[in-house]
Structure 1
């Protein structure tokens, strides 16, 4: 997968009046191919929050994967309406999001925040759209499937494109997606009884403005200046701190409780024990997670490594001799979740525990790619 250049990153973060064109690996390799995704028999799409970090990644993933569409609407807030955006060699004018935006839309990809999803998601469904929502607005609604395609595709089996009926499908939280893509193949084999997760979360999880602030702070600290702290209320560059989500009465923050609750829903197991500690680290766009697993049945580390090598959406990076394991930098802009440090938990008896280290791109698999994979299952 291509890396984001400095110029591309600046365009990506700046939110300029003309949004940077979406370029892809596929189009460079096959330059004579124009608008490969544009097909008369494809679904009509709408991208809600198209100017944001995940909205822009929606477009990259759609293009990378040749997702078929007959039309696509670029939707955002009133302040972005009228700006121009080039996608697959065609120029689009960004439109203001209104209830009428969803007339005739088959699939609506939402990444504009929970309040927008709560307001416009049900409207889109009423107008016949299938909404894939990246916010937390509907994740714990028992009527809304919470889906990771590699993990629980059957949860959305009842939703059919072309049925004339709208529906909501929720994208899990980024840290949950990255964790469960790796942990689920092992869970299927030996059943996880308890999972302890420690996360090292990138700036991208807080949006493009947080990524820009990390860059700005890094320059300021290196120049001996006082760092600008607008998004996070403390120095982020060369530092780490507890995740900025609100802390609840039980002492866990909202991000940590998402991992607890979403894992139980996705695995359809209210009894699985999950505890999490979520930390912000000065990394641009890929999360890392240390995951400790306790199993019902014994699971040897060599068998676990074999299972993970065969698992969909997983790449194993586990070279003890060279001390080479997953890093956020190496998985940035990549589709797969990388897993390494696969080893028996010495604190548990009889091969009933494993430790693994997981890295995944927060914007891509943790958000946009997962949503597009859900949309692909509707085709």
Structure 2
């Protein structure tokens, strides 16, 4: 296996990466559009007393007319109008981090290990975004929020894919030196909405592998293994091997660790070209994965846009029906962050 073959393999890998960079740019454009349109949220604090009163009136079957004070009506409309903002607050950060990973692949110098680590990060977040779309299905029709009940249900449905096993409140001001080194992150249902440990992330990857991207779990496993300090480092760093015949026909292998996997300079040497094949496939697979990601980003954008439109239409209609209750220069309950007068005028 000579250097010509090794050089061809390196050229194929560079070509696969170049094609990926083009796809990264397309996906980044879609992600930036979603972030620009949904990066703003406006959420009022919870009102437990009002929630209990509302639930009690609903269960009794009584008409809410005359039951709530003017302040309670305004508060209730604000809380209802915060539904879309709550969903944005959960979803948009996943898109932001994914976008940043793709941006680093484009902007930073070639590093196979860093690229593969970014592959893994994006796969995890996009799999969760796909999980959010699945969780939203009861509230959707043809990919859009179907009615006000669906709109109100969106935050609770989103909570199925939002959670943590890390006690942020407990450890927020702790030093790592003082933490229990054997601490195991255990889900506390009283503190977070759902258990979101490593197994849950793998579950989202598995489900996406079955429903939208065959081979995704195998690709994800490869990425996780590759970025660990093991054989992947030997491939990322690159090495040049040559066989040397010594006295008594005893053959030795001479290996030079190169600065990168493409440093093949010795005409008598050969690199780990058989390992380059799987890397070429990895870059090709991730490019295909990003095409699937584009579809998911567009679907999520459609859900958020339809929810925002329905939310504003409902809130503005209620304001117009009860003009004396809502102050023109107070913030609009739809969560736009604009004053009532200007929000209604602009929409």
Shared fold, TM over 0.5: no
Greater per-residue strand proportion? 1
TM-score scaled by structure 2? 0.26
Answer with 1 or 2: which has the greater Rg: 2
**Higher RCO by CA contacts (8 Å cutoff, separation 6 or greater):** 2
Greater per-residue helix proportion? 2
